[in-house]
Amino acid sequence: MYTIAIDGPSGSGKSTAAKLAARRLGCQYLDTGAMYRAVAVGCLGAGVDHEDAAGIAAVCRDMELDISTNPDDQYVRLAGDDITAYIRTPEVAAWVSAVATNPACRTELVRRQQAILASDSFVAEGRDITTVVAPDAAVRVLLTADPGARLARRGAELGGQVDAAGLRDQVLRRDQDDSTLVNFTTAADGVVTIDSTHLTPEQVVAQILLLAEAAGIIA
């Protein structure tokens, strides 16, 4: 079993590259960001205030989460309810930093993520994968892009659901908030930086697969 860990800021192309790489390698895929968004959904449903750190931590600790690791059949279920589409809405995006900056939540979700990764071979992506969740991964990549490219990608993903100010809030402000707890802008020792600003997803994956070959994961 092995793990390929892809770290980086919002809009850098982590999800697209990770899913493509998992398909090429025939392994599992883990979107750790979806787990943080699921906690946000749980908090919204429970009426927890975004400043109630203890309440947020309790929702995270007690939630019944079912997340798919099949790159071709992605879903997220909370207590049996399908929240796959809901976690991508602006409402949840506006809430998720309260979860991501909660130390107790991060500890609990890292525990769950490490248990999942221990079960099979994975391409996993998130903000602290290379340094906290899977520091011993066979391949560790920091995927970056300039702010303009990241804003454009996230805007296209949201399909015009938010205005320019809301988009900057989701991408740049959230990165700033989350960076208070984890470093996902500078590569740690042994982590390879790939700048995706001018690369297609296929070109990013080609570089990741070369790293996997060098690590002995693929021939």
DSSP character string of 172-192? IIHHHHHTTT---SSPPTTPE
CATH pick for 3-214 out of 3.40.50.720, 3.40.605.10, 3.30.300.180, 3.40.50.300: 3.40.50.300
Res. 47: pLDDT tops 70: yes
Q: By percentage, how much of the chain surpasses pLDDT 90?
A: 69
The band of 165, judged by pLDDT with boundaries at 50, 70 and 90, is low
pLDDT at 151: 76
Residue type, 98: A
The band of 168, judged by pLDDT with boundaries at 50, 70 and 90, is low
To the nearest 10°, the Cα dihedral for 50, 52, 53, 59? -80
**Mean pLDDT rounded to a whole number for the chain:** 89
pLDDT at 11: 79
Cβ within 8 Å of residue 30, ≥6 positions away: 67, 69, 113, 116, 117, 122, 123, 124, 125
Q: What is the C-alpha separation between 3 and 147, in angstroms, rounded?
A: 28
Res. 198: pLDDT tops 80: yes
Residue ranges of the alpha helices (H) in the chain? 14-25, 32-46, 53-62, 90-100, 103-117, 147-158, 164-168, 174-178, 201-214
Q: What is the C-alpha separation between 132 and 144, in angstroms, rounded?
A: 18
Q: What is the C-alpha separation between 137 and 123, in angstroms, rounded?
A: 10
The overall longest dimension of the chain from CA atoms, in Å, is 51
Res. 197: pLDDT tops 60: yes
pTM for the full predicted model:
0.86
- Residues 17-42: what's their mean pLDDT? 96
pLDDT at 9: 84
Of 13-22, 106-115, 187-196, the poorest mean pLDDT is in 187-196
pLDDT at 177: 56
Burial of 12 (0-12, 13-18, 19+ CB in 10 A): buried
